Amino acid sequence: ARRMPSRFSTAGCWPASLRRRAASRRAPTAAPAGGPPAELARLPAAERALVAEYAAAEAEARAQPLHAARSSLIESGVLLYLHTAGGGAAWGLFESVRQRLDRAALVQNVARTSLVTCFVPILLVGGVVTAYNKWNKATDTVEEKFRLYFALALALYPSGRLLQWVETFAPLWLGGHIVGFASFFTWTLYTESDLMRSDRELEQARGAARQAA
């Protein structure tokens, strides 16, 4: 059986318009008798074929065990946070054993490092980057851009103080962060996730799959 590129095996990676069209493809009850759904009928033949291919790929992916849970973890970013938390715990354990610390210090290093390495990407990747993209899109003039970047520059000072507190609370967090990200990217490479592949590579893979079909 041929294998579709990973981007085409998860509905959450598609544009919203294609998800709606694929959904209509999977729900032919709204279609006129003997024909495709009304929304698909208005599309060019090439787009209808693409929607049919996406719907078939999604149906194939949904048949796999734990597809819904796995897709939810990948699409929401929870998988990244789990890897960084696990990397923090592993690094805290490794350093505690290497330094021959007592049990209380070992548990503290594992718990604190795991907690920080989990919440740092949630705060910076999930929070700061999302807020910046929202504010950046809402500004247009040179004056508005200047105010935005000036405010961000001023925010760097309290951010530095926050990092000092993090270093005091969990001094092993940076090593745990590196281990966690290495684990996450290794996993995405192993599973051939579309996160590690360009659009051109995915399109070439889809074209090759079509020719082989």
User: What is the helix (H) or strand (E) element at residue 196, kind and residue range?
Assistant: none
Structure tokens at 106: 């070992």
Q: Kindly tell me if the per-residue pLDDT of 21 is higher than 90.
A: no
Q: What is the pLDDT of residues 96-138, one digit of tens each?
A: 999 999 999 999 999 999 999 888 777 776 677 778 888 888 8
Structure tokens at 6: 């990973």
29 band by pLDDT with thresholds 50, 70 and 90: very low
What's the rounded Cα separation, in Å, for the pair 185 and 195? 9
Q: Kindly tell me if the per-residue pLDDT of 186 is higher than 70.
A: yes
End-to-end CA distance of the chain: 9
- In this predicted model, which residue has the larger pLDDT, 194 or 160? 160
Q: Residue 95: its pLDDT value, please? A: 93
- In this predicted model, which residue has the larger pLDDT, 191 or 195? 191
Q: Kindly tell me if the per-residue pLDDT of 201 is higher than 90.
A: no
What pTM does this model have?
Answer: 0.54
Report the chain's mean pLDDT, rounded to a whole number.
76
Lowest-confidence pick of 58-72, 94-108, 164-178: 58-72
Most confident of 18-22, 186-190, 202-206, 208-212: 186-190
Give the pLDDT mean for 17-24: 51
Return the closest-CA partner of residue 22 out of 4, 6, 10, 34.
10
Find the largest Cα–Cα distance for the chain: 74
Return the closest-CA partner of residue 82 out of 107, 109, 114, 112.
114
Give the pLDDT mean for 160-186: 88
